[in-house]
């Protein structure tokens, strides 16, 4: 009986840790689609909109991941992207 209780407690602890870890992962989801509002600024160099800056701030932890992705790297590493970040008051990451 004591062994069954110990196993149940251990299982409950594993579930709590898994849920806590998943909550942190769900809080930060990298989605390049969130940056669509910045396309005019990054592609043509037009001033970024407030929506663009807001989305950039939300996706800031993902910048290095995007910079390493061949599908996005030419956009993320472009001079216009750097100007957009600067206009939004966001530091250019060093990856």
> What is the mean pLDDT of the segment spanning 44-51?
97
Tell me the domains of the chain and their CATH numbers: 30-95 (1.10.110.10)
71 closest CA partner among 42, 29, 32, 43: 32
What confidence category does residue 28 fall into, taking pLDDT thresholds of 50, 70 and 90? low
**More confident call, 7 vs 92:** 92
What would the pLDDT profile of 56-75 be if each residue is shown by its tens digit?
A: 999 999 999 999 999 999 99
The C-alpha angle with vertex 70 and arms to 67 and 23, in degrees rounded to 5, equals: 55
- pLDDT of 25 higher than 50: no
Q: Is residue 44 a contact partner of residue 80, using CB atoms and an 8 Å limit?
A: yes
pTM > 0.75: yes or no = no
């Amino acid at each position: 009986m004591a062994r069954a209780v110990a196993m149940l407690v251990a299982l409950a602890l594993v579930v709590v840790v898994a849920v806590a870890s998943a909550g942190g992962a769900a809080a930060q989801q990298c989605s390049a689609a969130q940056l669509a509002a910045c396309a005019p600024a990054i592609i043509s160099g037009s001033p970024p909109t407030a929506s663009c800056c807001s989305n950039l701030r939300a996706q800031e932890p993902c910048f290095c991941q995007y910079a390493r992705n061949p599908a996005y790297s030419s956009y993320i590493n472009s001079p216009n992207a750097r100007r957009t970040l600067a206009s939004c008051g966001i530091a250019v990451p060093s990856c």
